[in-house]
Amino acid sequence: MRKLLHTVLLGLLGAGIVHIVVLMLVPEFSERDAWSRLAMASDLYKMTRLDAEAGGAPVVKSVDPLFYAAACRFDLAEGMVRVKAPGNVPFWSVSVYDRSGHNLYSFNDHSATGGVLDTVVLTPAQMIDVRRELPEELQGAIFVEAPIEEGIFVIRSFVPDDSWKPVVSQFLEQSSCQLQDY
Amino acid sequence: MLKNAFLTLVALAIAIGGGGGSVWYALKAQDGVGAIRIGQWTAFPEIGTQAADPYSKARVAREGVLALGRAEGLSFIAERDAGGDQLRRECAYTIEGSFPTARFWTLYAADQSLGVVDTDKPRLAALQSYQVLRQPDNSVIITVGNRPAPGNWLLTDGFGRMYFVLTFYDTPIASSTGLSDVTLPRIVKAGCNA
């Protein structure tokens, strides 16, 4: 009897250790995280719609039904990435995530010059290079310094009612996510 | 000898089963570490950031969430009404009260996976602040149910558990200091179609 009690106590202690280990390992080994889901849907530097509107099940969960969203994956080790989207929509916001889906930086249309989405994501080292001589075409862009290599860029845009659907869809379809030569 | 082997097996079974099971349970529960509760509404302001607790991080990785950033907005989820009962799709509710400062907000009825409920109708089970009618004191009264209602009507339909997701966009309450004196609308059950 005593031995059984000993066993159960040992088991519970083990359960505690397993709990902590599993919890720590879930983010490392998850194949269902946002990066993996996007990787299955499309390539690097390719804007992919996240909402169900574009056909098929939504790629990434927790998108507001009154929003359309698009995302692209990038790798800053290959160079800085520039994201642009033309057009006027009621509201847009963007976020930069790292490989494991942590939100590093976000801003919305009120932060941008004239409400136009034109931004460059780059590492602090690339930022030093760019600062030395800012190219003419990047004058109006918002620079986001992120100390990462692989990451995800997400654009979200508000669809107040059905009449805005084509406009917002077009805004996301025409958005680009490209390696910027420098 | 056989007995020892059996006891070791039992200890291992408890350790692995209990450890794995408890993680699974903790990640499934809507309520968790790092949650902020205001009335019936729960928010996770830290979710999806580097500062999040290990449970939030594991949940983000497991569900493939891309959480809203601070400059984007903050989501609140309700799973119970003011009486403490779970929200049901077959019931009618009234959501009333004032909403905190934000450029706009959206409210939708969600199923277990927090996707919008499927009503089989062209009307979406969602409302946003530009389309709602307001009371003279700027508060809002929303009727939730499968029967059309005057004023603001949020359509829901079907059976089973339901959640309300209320998201504020471009709002000062997304910064943690702004959350201290926020009041959110009350959810009152109006009746059930049982």
Tell whether B128 lies on the interface with A, counting CB pairs under 8 A: yes
Question: What pLDDT score was predicted for residue B178?
Answer: 60
Chain-wide mean pLDDT for chain B?
Answer: 87
B105 — pLDDT class (breaks 50, 70, 90): very high
Identify the bridge partners of residue B168 per DSSP, sorted by sequence position.
B74, B105
CB contact under 8 A, B170 and A19: no
Please give the structure tokens belonging to residue B129: 């602040």
pLDDT at position B38 over 90? no
For the sheet containing B152-155, what is the strand order? B152-155, B140-145, B91-97, B186-192
A112 contact residues in B (CB cutoff 8 A): none
Question: What pLDDT score was predicted for residue B43?
Answer: 85
Helix or strand holding residue A96 (H, E): strand A92-98
pLDDT tens, position by position, B78-102: 989 999 999 999 999 999 999 988 8
B65 contact residues in A (CB cutoff 8 A): 34, 60-62, 101
- Lowest pLDDT segment from A172-176, B9-13, B179-183: B179-183
Identify the bridge partners of residue B115 per DSSP, sorted by sequence position.
none
Tell whether B29 lies on the interface with A, counting CB pairs under 8 A: no
Query: What's this model's pTM, rounded to 2 decimal places?
Result: 0.86
User: Which of B14, B66, B69 comes nearest A8 by C-beta?
Assistant: B14
What is the residue type of B40?
Q
Q: 3-state SS of chain B?
A: CHHHHHHHHHHHHHHHHHHHHHHHHHHHCCCCCCCEEECCEEECCCCCCCCCCHHHHHHHHHHCCCCCCCCCEEEEEECECCCCCECECCEEEEEEECCCCCCEEEEEEECCCCCECCCCCCCCCEEEHHHCCCCCCCCEEEEEECCCCCCEEEECCCCCECEEEEEEECCHHHCHHHHCCCCCCEEEEEEECC
A21 contact residues in B (CB cutoff 8 A): 19
pLDDT at position A57 over 80? no
- Lowest pLDDT segment from A79-83, B30-34, B121-125, B190-194: B30-34
pLDDT at position A62 over 60? no
Helix or strand holding residue A104 (H, E): strand A103-108
pLDDT tens, position by position, A110-161: 888 888 899 999 999 999 988 888 888 888 889 999 999 999 999 999 999 8
CB contact under 8 A, A10 and B11: yes
- Tell me the C-alpha to C-alpha distance, in Å, between residue A159 and each of A51, A91, A179, B64, B130: 12, 8, 29, 23, 11
Question: What pLDDT score was predicted for residue A139?
Answer: 83
CB contact under 8 A, B131 and A160: yes
What residue in A sits closest to B61 (Cα-Cα)? A33
pLDDT at position B168 over 90? yes
pLDDT at position B141 over 90? yes
CB contact under 8 A, A8 and B10: yes
User: Which of B18, B27, B55 comes nearest A15 by C-beta?
Assistant: B18
DSSP A120-161: EEE-HHHHHHHHHS--GGGTTPEEEE-S-SEEEEEEEEE--S
**Mean pLDDT value across residues A11-32:** 88
Question: What pLDDT score was predicted for residue A55?
Answer: 58
CATH number among 3.30.420.40, 2.40.280.10, 2.60.120.600, 2.40.110.10, domain B34-192: 2.60.120.600
Domain boundaries, given as residue ranges, for chain B: 1-30, 34-192
**Mean pLDDT value across residues B119-139:** 90
Helix or strand holding residue A107 (H, E): strand A103-108
CB contact under 8 A, B108 and A30: no
Count of Cβ atoms closer than 10 Å to residue A114 Cβ: 8
Smallest Cα distance from B180 to chain A, Å: 23
